Structure 1
Amino acid sequence: MGKKVAVILSGCGAYDGSEIHESSAIMVHLSREGAQVELYAPNILQTQVVNHATGQPVEEKRNVLVESARIARGNVKDLATLAMKDLDALIIPGGFGVAKNLCSWASEGKNCTVSKEVEDAIKAFHLTQKPIGLCCIAPVLAAKVLPGCELTVGDDTECETWPYAKTAQVLKEMGCKHINRSVGQIHVDCRHKLVTTSAFMCNAPLHEIYDGVGKMVQEVLRMA
């Protein structure tokens, strides 16, 4: 039997939910490695709904679990039902839903709070020494829940290739050790069994993002 991996989604769409390409890449790479995937999402209203054609917020209400079901093809469970004993690893894709629905990073930055269900899940995997994979903006969750951890969100020097590099500086201010990595690389914090990669924090071709996510998945499974 392959490893059983929990993947926590935060909605559907880069600007207000899970980044769809990252989520799909994670599931494809897990499938290729023979892992079983269990998809979860919190049963809450989205903090914000964004029209992805314009990039502008709209006056509309959507549920994170219901929207995540679009990515999961309906096969998604309420995060409140996650059972640690049946799972070998945890992976969380990025997207602004992480910063808006799983925590309050989008509005509060380093002073953010992480939703209790997400914090409980991260702590449970960490305490049982089961690996955690995070990509794109999702490493901010570990920064808040696992103080002093090592991680990467890419590069710490802002430029056209790295438009969100200030995030790395904030993570350093929070007491984390940020390691600069290219989009095709990962960073492994062996002490915390934490694997991170930058994904769409980088302005890179889609296949390079896909490859970096693949390395993250492979290392998480190796550590499981």
Structure 2
Amino acid sequence: MKKVAVILSGCGYLDGAEIRESVLALLALDIEGIEYSIFAPDMQQHHVVNHITGEPDPSASRNVLQEAGRIARGEISPITELKAEQFDGLVIPGGFGVAKNLSTFAFKGAEGEVDPVVVAVLTDFKTSHKPIGAICISPALLALAFGDLQPTLTIGSHAGTAAEIEKTGAVHQVCETNDCVIDTTNRLVTTPAYMDDHANLKDIFQGITKLVKGMVALSK
């Protein structure tokens, strides 16, 4: 595995990409000597949340691509330019942006839909037999997109979210924060990260590191 695409859903865990998960994923890739390119949809966020109060700010509006550019230090491209043929794998950090901007899972659960452009990207990697790593709530995207294939996924131990994921046809496996679940048949690797609000950074990094190593093993 030489190069991986990373999809971000904004900047900030309540309305975009989870910043810590995003940075730790990039670090884990770097440690493995894997080059990466970062992408995000050029679209408006579902809403903007004040990360101190936790409340939406109806007067604010932000663009997912521009916000994700904060994490990417400006080195980012629209997701419409992402071609699976140019990469060996795909990583999607979590954050509520995944469930609000990349899909409607936050509002409709198992009845939700994934953004058509995101679905196309996921399908391209899947049909190319290239591994996909999904962190935190991002496995919900895989459940919505590939539930009919009964993939084995994890979002940790959150019973309500796990139940919604299983309604899609996916199989949920309970997993500790510092570990990951590898579906060798479907070439999917998932790890819980901040699905546990009280998780510590060390365990999250261990889980993400195992996810990256799992992707490397699947690509051989």
What TM-score range do you get, normalising by the shorter chain? over 0.9
Return the alpha-carbon distance in structure 2 between the equivalents of residues 96 and 199 of structure 1. Answer: 13
Return the alpha-carbon distance in structure 1 between the equivalents of residues 84 and 64 of structure 2. Answer: 21
Return the alpha-carbon distance in structure 1 between the equivalents of residues 204 and 141 of structure 2. Answer: 20
| Number of the residue aligned with 1:154 | 156
* Residue 209, structure 1, aligned to residue 204, structure 2: yes
Return the alpha-carbon distance in structure 1 between the equivalents of residues 193 and 17 of structure 2. Answer: 13
Task: For residue 126 of structure 1, give the secondary structure of its aligned residue in structure 2.
Answer: helix
Task: For residue 50 of structure 1, give the secondary structure of its aligned residue in structure 2.
Answer: coil
Return the alpha-carbon distance in structure 2 between the equivalents of residues 74 and 167 of structure 1. Answer: 33
| Number of the residue aligned with 1:158 | none
Aligned amino acid, residue 183 of structure 2 = D
| Number of the residue aligned with 2:55 | 56
By how many angstroms is 1:223 displaced?
1.7
1:1-224 → structure 2 map (5 Å cutoff):
3-59=2-58, 60-147=60-147, 148-155=150-157, 164-202=158-196, 203-224=198-219
- The superposition leaves residues 60-94 of structure 1 with CA deviations (integer Å, 9 ceiling, x where unpaired) of 11000000000000000000011221100000000
Equivalent pair of 1:5/1:91 in contact (CA under 8 Å)? yes
Return the alpha-carbon distance in structure 2 between the equivalents of residues 77 and 221 of structure 1. Answer: 24
Task: For residue 51 of structure 1, give the secondary structure of its aligned residue in structure 2.
Answer: coil
By how many angstroms is 1:211 displaced?
1.0
Equivalent pair of 2:184/2:218 in contact (CA under 8 Å)? no
- The superposition leaves residues 183-213 of structure 1 with CA deviations (integer Å, 9 ceiling, x where unpaired) of 1111111111000010001121111111111
Aligned amino acid, residue 152 of structure 1 = T
Equivalent pair of 2:45/2:101 in contact (CA under 8 Å)? yes
By how many angstroms is 1:106 displaced?
1.1
Aligned amino acid, residue 151 of structure 1 = L
Aligned length: 215
Unaligned segments of structure 1, at least 5 residues = 156-163
* Identity score, percent: 41
Unaligned segments of structure 2, at least 5 residues = none
Return the alpha-carbon distance in structure 1 between the equivalents of residues 217 and 71 of structure 2. Answer: 26
Return the alpha-carbon distance in structure 2 between the equivalents of residues 173 and 105 of structure 1. Answer: 12
By how many angstroms is 1:165 displaced?
2.9
Equivalent pair of 1:3/1:221 in contact (CA under 8 Å)? no
Equivalent pair of 1:40/1:78 in contact (CA under 8 Å)? yes
By how many angstroms is 1:170 displaced?
1.4
Return the alpha-carbon distance in structure 2 between the equivalents of residues 208 and 67 of structure 1. Answer: 27
Task: For residue 91 of structure 2, give the secondary structure of its aligned residue in structure 1.
Answer: strand
By how many angstroms is 1:153 displaced?
0.6
Return the alpha-carbon distance in structure 2 between the equivalents of residues 169 and 112 of structure 1. Answer: 14
Return the alpha-carbon distance in structure 2 between the equivalents of residues 35 and 141 of structure 1. Answer: 24
- The superposition leaves residues 112-163 of structure 1 with CA deviations (integer Å, 9 ceiling, x where unpaired) of 01001110111000001000000100000000111211101111xxxxxxxx
Task: For residue 56 of structure 1, give the secondary structure of its aligned residue in structure 2.
Answer: coil
Aligned amino acid, residue 200 of structure 1 = Y
By how many angstroms is 1:13 displaced?
0.3
By how many angstroms is 1:30 displaced?
0.4
Task: For residue 134 of structure 1, give the secondary structure of its aligned residue in structure 2.
Answer: strand
- RMSD value over aligned CA atoms? 0.9
